[in-house]
Amino acid sequence: MAEKKFISELFLENNQFILVGLTGRTGSGCTTTANILESKNISFPELSSLGSFYNGLDARRYSIVKKFAEEYWGNFYSIKVSDLISIYLLLLPTTNLSNFIYSCGERITKKSSRHLVKNGVLSKSFLKYKYSDVIKQLLDHQSEIDFSDKKIIRSFIRILQLVRKLTRDLKAELNKLESGLYVSVYQSAGKSIRRIGKVDAEYESKDFIPNSVFHLPETINRVIKSIRKVKDGRAYVVIDAIRNPYEAKFFKDRYAAFHLVSINAPDEHRTRYLQKLHKFSADQIKKIDDEESGKGDSEYKHLTNPNVKRCIEISDIHLFNPKNEYDNNNVLKAQIAWYIALMQHPGLISPTSMERVMQVAYAVKLNSGCISRQVGAVVTDNDNSIKSVGWNDVAKGQIPCAMRSIDGLINDFHSETYSHYERNNDKFRGKALEFYETFKTVTQQSSSFTGRNISYCFKDIHNSIDNNSNQVHTRALHAEENAFLQLAKYGGSGIVGGKLYTTASPCELCAKKAYQLGISEVVFIDPYPGITKDHIINIGFMPPKLIQFRGAIGKAYHRLYEQVIPIKDELDYILN
């Protein structure tokens, strides 16, 4: 009995609290995933109903985690970010709310916006009157919450339950007023909260309040604490959904039990789903994707705008969700069983070959000296035996950008560090000097960069001369290109029929090289940009297969697959 207690104590922390944050593009399946996690009674699909999704040893791995997940399943409490945004909207004065909705539409009138606010679900909701003080306390982060007061805590939970119906009804009203208005209103509300800490129609003209970036996650955090207090034991929580990378960082910094999980659906499946079930036009889908990509003209957009691409990039776990059959969630459910079981009992199974190789790509990307982004790549044969690795960086013998400085460029003239062009071109040096003077002014006003090496991007300065966005003038080789060149440089066996793993996705130039080398599969994390897929890959007689990575990566790879105690020792303790 003592041995069994010892084993259960070892895994107690994993079983007591799990926090999952979902991310993914609109229509990828975040809400579907949250609904599955909320299920109290669940059965996971048999191996036979998954087609060829799991083969070989992966099929055996799935049988193990399926058995464990069904035996120890605990349903999650879902915190929907859209519900919390509804609470922010609920507290707005009628005129302010009407103006905000009007500012988010393209074809609606002020009159129709006012009518919706005065006669719609927001005006009829008793939440605004019965729970007004509690809602204000939830959103006022200057006020302390007494988490020992069970009445207040239960009020928070009750509000979250009631506001879900309000959000559904408001969604229907907004979309009836104008197709796609719900998404536009809630995206704009999110940006407003991140910029000024509240919802305001004129948020883009207001002064940016830095702490507001974390206003929404702090509200979520208060709800999480309430749930843990009410549960008073095992608490599993899922956040649906995180679409700003700084919100993800907020939870990563605070909870060891937090996992950011990206849900990825093929673009063609996702587009068809949004068009058929939600009646979105192609233009509306493009607008949503642009909004979620981190693009935009507003100041501080990198802090306040949704950036799903970056959220996917920093995710701990990636799930693949084919949506070619709308009611068939078997593949998604199988992956949920896999990773929830590992969260509860790390080391239950070993990683897949796809995870193992991508983890190597993830590790080597940290060698990159690029100050824009770090990318890693691995080339394997058909059996996933590694033949070469690469990362985006300058050619061997040159100094990486992260190890150069704008101060050195202006004052040192070191010929091995700075090119002849950088040292002698008047236009380039003029633009570099502008950057240098600007940075000197900023550093005099703030100590944020004291003691730091102030690097600069050659491409950005060069492109600013002609005000264009030429990608040819980068100093670095791409990670995929570098991996290919290692094979040519040091020799090795042929890679015809091999695989390319990349922590991003190959550009047009690298995709052409992969095709020429006879690569049979390209495994990527970021969805394909530009026309690489449609123009370079999907043509000819031997196009490489494109496979979106699925699995755990980075710290999560070790957290989930590293055994807390060797399995043999675990069995010995139990059997004495």
CATH number, domain containing residue 384: 3.40.140.10
Domain of 384 in residue numbering reads as 354-393+476-548
The answer to whether residue 331 is domain-embedded is: no
Do 4 and 241 meet the contact criterion of CB atoms below 8 Å apart? no
* 515 and 487 share one domain: yes
Per-residue pLDDT at 405: 94
Asked which of 315, 331, 364 is the last residue of a domain, the reply is 315
- How far is it, in rounded angstroms, from Cα 101 to Cα 153? 31
Q: Quick one: tokens of 561?
A: 């697959």
Q: Which pLDDT does position 508 carry in this prediction? A: 87
Task: Dump pLDDT digits (tens) for 100-129.
Answer: 999 999 889 999 999 999 999 988 887 877
Please determine, for residue 12, whether its predicted confidence score (pLDDT) is greater than 70.
no
Let me know if residue 559 belongs to a domain: no
**Domain termination residue (choose one: 315, 339, 367):** 315
pLDDT average, residue stretch 518-525: 94
Asked if the structure places residue 19 within a domain, the reply is no
Least confident span in 168-177, 265-274, 374-383, 533-542: 533-542
Tens digit of each residue's pLDDT (9 = 90 or more) over 85-94: 999 999 899 9
The residue among 443, 466, 489 that closes a domain is: 466
| pLDDT higher than 90, residue 11 | no
Q: Which two tokens stand for residue 139?
A: 């959103």
Looking at 95-104, 373-382, 527-536, which range is the least confident one? 527-536
Is 407 among the domain residues?
yes
Q: What is the pLDDT of residues 384-400, one digit of tens each?
A: 999 999 999 999 999 99
100, two tokens: 């905000």
Per the domain annotation, does 435 fall within a domain? yes
Q: Which own/partner pairs from 97-100 qualify as long-range (CB within 8 Å, at least 24 positions apart)? A: 97/122, 97/199, 99/201, 100/185, 100/188, 100/189, 100/192, 100/199, 100/200, 100/201
d(CA 334, CA 352): 14
Q: pLDDT per residue over 49-71, tens digit each?
A: 998 999 999 999 999 999 999 99
Does one domain contain both 442 and 486? Answer: no
Tell me, yes or no, whether 310 and 238 share the same domain: yes
Q: What's the pLDDT band for 351 if we cut at 50, 70, 90?
A: very high
As a whole number, the mean pLDDT across the chain is 90
Same domain assignment for residues 227 and 128: yes
Q: Which residue has the higher pLDDT, 442 or 338?
A: 338
Q: Does the pLDDT value for residue 528 go beyond 70?
A: no
pLDDT band at 135 (very low <50, low <70, confident <90, very high): confident
Question: Count of domains in the chain?
Answer: 3
Res. 276 pLDDT band, cuts 50 70 90: confident
> 256 and 158 in one domain?
yes
The answer to whether 561 and 539 are in contact (CB under 8 A) is no
Q: Are 359 and 416 found together in one domain?
A: no
The reply to whether 434 and 511 lie within a common domain is no
Same domain, 262 and 369: no
Q: Per-residue confidence at 130, pLDDT binned at 50, 70, 90?
A: confident
Beta bridge partners of 320: 264
Let me know whether 140 and 252 are in one domain. Answer: yes
Mean pLDDT of 433-445: 85
* pLDDT above 80 (res 9): no
Identify whether residues 189 and 299 lie together within a single domain. yes
Lowest mean pLDDT among 36-40, 147-151, 464-468, 500-504: 147-151
Question: What is the model's pLDDT at position 3?
Answer: 58
Determine the Cα–Cα distance for residues 426 and 429; give it in Å rounded to an integer.
Answer: 5
Report if residue 332 sits inside a domain. Answer: no
Tell me, yes or no, whether 344 lies in a domain. no
Cis peptide bond prior to 241, omega within 30° of 0: yes
Let me know whether 271 and 142 are in one domain: yes
pTM of the model: 0.92
Residues 100 and 205 in one domain: yes
User: Is residue 208 pLDDT above 90, yes or no?
Assistant: yes
pLDDT band of residue 23 (cuts 50, 70, 90) is very high
Inside any domain, residue 157: yes
